[in-house]
Amino acid sequence: MTLTRLALASLKSRWLTVGLTIFAVAMSVALYLGVEKLRTGARDSFTDTISGTDLIVGARSGSVQLLLYSVFRIGNATNNITWDSYRDIANRPEVSWAVPMSLGDSHRQFRVMGTTEAYFDRYKYRGDRSLEFAGGDRMNDLFDAVVGADVAAQLGYSVGDPIVVAHGLASFSEHADTPFRISGILAKTGTPVDRTVIVSLTAIEAIHVDWKSGAQKPGAPTSVDVIRSMNLQPKAITAIMLGAESRLKIFSLQRAINEYPQEPLLAVLPGVALQELWSIVGIAEVALIGVSAMVVVTALLGMAAMLLASLNARRREMAILRAIGAGPMTVVGLLLIEALLMAAVGAALGVGFLYLGLIVAQPILDARFGLFVPISGLSGREAATLIAVVCAAAAVSLLPAIRAYRISLADGMMVKM
């Protein structure tokens, strides 16, 4: 008890250096915990990109590739799915709902997706959230388009604006003869939907009426009125989102699709494919954790250096302690208690900084990056980290502690002027 009081008093007398050391520990702990929270938040946001869909179906390729092009709109499908196969699958008794998706066109740097109205009802993210409109409404005309939040923000669109969809992904040939009108703008979701232009499946057919093998047919373009009167049944789509009647049927449905004899198709469980993808992307996690752990170690080493450096200034203090009969363990103990106190206060402050930072940053992260970091209590892992920091502080302060004892012994023996 006396020792703790002594330690406190000694720390207080050196409040500036001690304060800075505690601040360094606090910042490093806050950084480490912040990275940990961001990391789990990023992973959860990532796995929450799509939910409520039991299976995603595409041409037979890899599950990660299928997920990338169908959900993240990255890369391209190896093949399309014929409309007949889509009908076959959608009509299976195990299937409760099916949403076709047709990808491959673009608007500026954003992908255009053709789908049915059911997409707005069936696409769920972050648990059970549905797409919401920030303005306007779903497509109700052939040439209506709904744009994601990022599309609207970056290109400065508002409801009612005309847009032109380009053929292919990076082509100069624009479907200028069939302009679209923005019927609705979606609210920010933090998912790839933000960067997507959504049109109806028939609209995708409509813009390709005059396009054969990648080039516009010579002659006058088919007039919009003629296009409207045409049968715009798509012949192929890119991917299908499926919901099963019952979870118990998912696996047999998956197998049936994977073994579908008429066309090589692949059905994946989105959760499983996301997990597979994260195991590739997630390596960055390890790097982040490594860096922030190094920061904590640096702060602790700094504390040890500070203790060590202060020993010189505290020669007299130590000598007096020794003179009044403090044993070696007492001196070592005093230094250890000082280190533990600093680390504990630093850790506690760090947690304070973390939550302060989270409260400030949470809405910004969510709105800007679609990264939702929940403000939750410390996980067992995080609490264990804090305890480890305090223990590590004790360990690194052993060196100055032992040195303090040695010096105090030598100082005590020396006759000084």
The amino acid that residue 13 corresponds to is S
Q: Which of 54, 144, 194, 210 binds another protein (CB under 8 A)?
A: 54
Q: Distance between CA 18 and CA 29 in Å, rounded?
A: 16
CB 381 within 8 A of CB 389: no
CB 228 within 8 A of CB 143: no
Q: Which two tokens stand for residue 262?
A: 């008429």
Q: Which is nearer to another protein, 55 or 206 (CB)?
A: 55
The amino acid that residue 159 corresponds to is V
Q: Which is nearer to another protein, 227 or 277 (CB)?
A: 277
Q: Which of 376, 339, 371, 370 is CA-nearest to residue 354?
A: 376
3-class DSSP state for residue 162? strand
How many residues lie near another protein (CB under 8 A)?
19
Binding mask 304-343 for another protein (x = CB under 8 A): ----------------------------------------
Q: Which is nearer to another protein, 21 or 63 (CB)?
A: 63
Q: Which is nearer to another protein, 79 or 362 (CB)?
A: 79
Q: Which two tokens stand for residue 140?
A: 């109700």
Q: Is residue 381 near another protein by the rule CB under 8 A?
A: no
Q: Is residue 51 near another protein by the rule CB under 8 A?
A: yes
Q: Which is nearer to another protein, 177 or 263 (CB)?
A: 263
Q: Which of 135, 234, 264, 282 binds another protein (CB under 8 A)?
A: 264
Q: Which of 88, 161, 276, 366 binds another protein (CB under 8 A)?
A: 276
Q: Which of 32, 26, 23, 24 is CA-nearest to residue 381?
A: 32
Q: Is residue 259 near another protein by the rule CB under 8 A?
A: yes
Sign of CA dihedral 106, 110, 159, 101: positive
Q: Which of 41, 136, 190, 270 binds another protein (CB under 8 A)?
A: 270
List of residues contacting another protein (CB under 8 A): 47, 51, 54, 246-248, 250-252, 259, 261-262, 264, 269-272, 275-276
